[in-house]
Amino acid sequence: MKRILIIAASVLLALALAIPAVAADPVKIGVLVPLTGIVANGGKEMANGIDMAAKDKKTLLGRPIKLIVEDTRVKPAVAVSKAEKLVYQDKSVALIGVFSSGVGLALAKNIDKLNVPFVSTHVMTTKFYGLNPLVFRSGQLANDQTAVGNVEGILATPDLKKRKYYVLVHDYSWGHDAAKRFIALAKAKGVKVVNPDFDRAPIKTKNWSTYISKIKASGADGIYIALITDVIPRFMKQANEFGLMKTCRLVSGAAPGAVDLENAGTAGVGIFGASDYAWDLENFPGYQAKAKDWNTRYYKMYKAIPCDAAAHSYVGAMNLFKAIEKAGSTDPQKIAAAIRGISYDGPYGKVYICPGDNCMRNDAVLTETVKAPKNPYGATIYMKVLKVFPAKELGPPCKN
């Protein structure tokens, strides 16, 4: 008998721990960001951006907004089960955030089951165009757009135009997609690439010395990287230590993470690339006022350098909030319908979700990291804006 009691007691205990808590007044939004792992800093910035949007918006449909933040650990399986928790247990009406194309695609695969709109603020893979009626890309540029921006930037800079590029990416869907997009466009526009079948480094790589040797051996004098944001400054630091940056210049398919850029110090100078936002936009006519206001408030709220990850997460969240208001309900299909075609005028100008492919079109910036002038955010290195691309220039054309 005792054994039965033990078994029964353990099962009851397990179930008791799992009894749901009920409450349903605020509008709940599930926020999926990486808070541990390689991109913890970026995840924190994403969460800040979304939090700031919720504080700015205050209410939805006359109800308070409640953000429920879960850590994806940048692992697809973890993200999917956290999404299940956010939807089934917490009753979130939408999911937002998500770093990494691998995680994004895994979640998209399960979205019909979850049946809520999923607004990714950070996924860059071109596979997201028209992927699923419930899946949206809002915020970050997609790989094809970044490639256009970068190749144009290279062609417009004489010192970059004449260089031969070694392509090095993180070994997962985003990296592969970014490399293919860049290489195809570079080929079409006459930019030289030394390794058309591109080099892939595992995401966990910390020691870049071998990759640096490979770049040296290839004879390239330019490097095109698609590495996760937080890693870029670390890669730069090691490339500098090995004297690689004396001969090479670096073009990046993603913006470097703000915290890590500061940590790398002067080693992080010279990262060239297209991105959606840089706080330097506050010095750029046409964007000045909105960017300045956003930067100042962000810095005041989070005591952190205003950065691209936070800005596009903010914009993504604002798109979602506006759509929920427009839908006038928390019905998933209605929200999804409202997101298509929604537009929002934020820190980097007017953005627009193309109804034909569920992905955002927005203005973008071409930047290079340099030593920062005196600024209110305490940054010593910053992304200096070289040029602004209007949304049309980066494409792809929006078909309804």
Partner 1 sequence: MSNMEQAAPRSLIFERLGGGKAMWITTAVMVVILAVLPFILPNRFYIRLVNEIMIYGLLAMSLDVLLGYTGLLSFMHNAYLGLGAYATGLFMIHIWPESIWVAMLVGTVFTMAVALPVGWVQVRTGGLAFALLTLAFGMMFYTVAWKWYDLTGGDDGLMGLPQPDITLFGLKLASSGNSTAIYLFTLAILLICFVFTWRVIHSPLGAVLEAIRENEERASFVGINVRRYKLIGWMLACGLAGTAGSIYILYRGYTGPGVMGAFEGAGVLMMVLLGGMGTLWGPFIGAALFIVLKDQLSSWTQDWEIFIGAIVILLVLFLPKGVAGVPALFNRQSGGED
Partner 2 sequence: MFAITVDIILNSLVLGGIFVIMGVGLNIIYGLNRVMNLAHGALYALGAYFGFSVVAVGGNYFLALLIAPIIVGILGLVIERVLITPMRKRSMIYTLILTYGLMFVIDGLIKFFWGVETRFIHLPEFMQGTVSLGSASYPVFRLVILIGIAAVVAALMLLLGRTRLGINMRAASEIPEMVSACGVNVRGVQISGFVLGCMLAGTAGVLAGPLFTVFPIMGHDMLISSFVVVVIGGLGSLRGAVIAALMIGFVQTLAEFFITEMAMVIVYMLMALILVIKPLGILGEGKFE
H/E run at residue 385: strand 381-389
Q: Please tell me whether residue 219 binds partner 2 under the rule CB under 8 A.
A: no
Q: Please tell me whether residue 196 binds partner 2 under the rule CB under 8 A.
A: no
Q: CA–CA separation, 74 vs 39, rounded Å?
A: 8
Binding site for partner 1 (CB under 8 A): 1-4, 6-8, 10-11, 14, 17-18, 20, 35, 70-71, 75-78, 80-81, 84-85, 87-89, 101-102, 105-106, 109-110, 113, 171-173, 176, 200, 202-203
Min. distance of Cβ 109 from partner 1 in angstroms?
Answer: 6
Q: Please tell me whether residue 206 binds partner 2 under the rule CB under 8 A.
A: yes
- DSSP H stretches of helix in the chain: 2-17, 40-57, 76-84, 101-109, 111-114, 143-156, 158-161, 173-189, 209-218, 231-241, 258-264, 288-302, 308-327, 332-339, 391-394
Q: CA–CA separation, 170 vs 199, rounded Å?
A: 8
Q: Which of 45, 260, 276, 282 binds partner 2 (CB under 8 A)?
A: 260
**Which is nearer to partner 1, 14 or 188 (by Cβ)?**
14
Hunting for tokens 């919720």 — which residue is that? 54
Q: Find the part of the chain contacting partner 2 (CB under 8 A) among 45-53, 85-93, 105-113, 213-221.
A: 213-221
Q: CA–CA separation, 261 vs 21, rounded Å?
A: 42
Hunting for tokens 């990046």 — which residue is that? 252
User: Using CB distances below 5 to 8 A depending on partner kind, what does residue 3 bind out of partner 1, partner 2, none?
Assistant: partner 1
Q: Burial code of 260-280, b = ≥16 C-beta within 10 A, e = fewer?
A: bbbbbeebbbbbbbbbbbbbb
Q: Please tell me whether residue 41 binds partner 2 under the rule CB under 8 A.
A: yes
Q: CA–CA separation, 46 vs 64, rounded Å?
A: 21
User: Using CB distances below 5 to 8 A depending on partner kind, what does residue 322 bind out of partner 1, partner 2, none?
Assistant: none
Total residues contacting partner 2 by CB under 8 A comes to: 31
- Phi first, then psi, for residue 132 (nearest 5°) are -160, 145
Q: Which of 10, 210, 329, 380 binds partner 2 (CB under 8 A)?
A: 210
**Which is nearer to partner 1, 200 or 361 (by Cβ)?**
200
Query: What is the binding site for partner 2 (CB under 8 A)?
Result: 35-38, 40-41, 44, 200, 202, 204, 206-207, 209-214, 216-217, 230, 234, 238, 241-243, 246, 259-260, 263-264
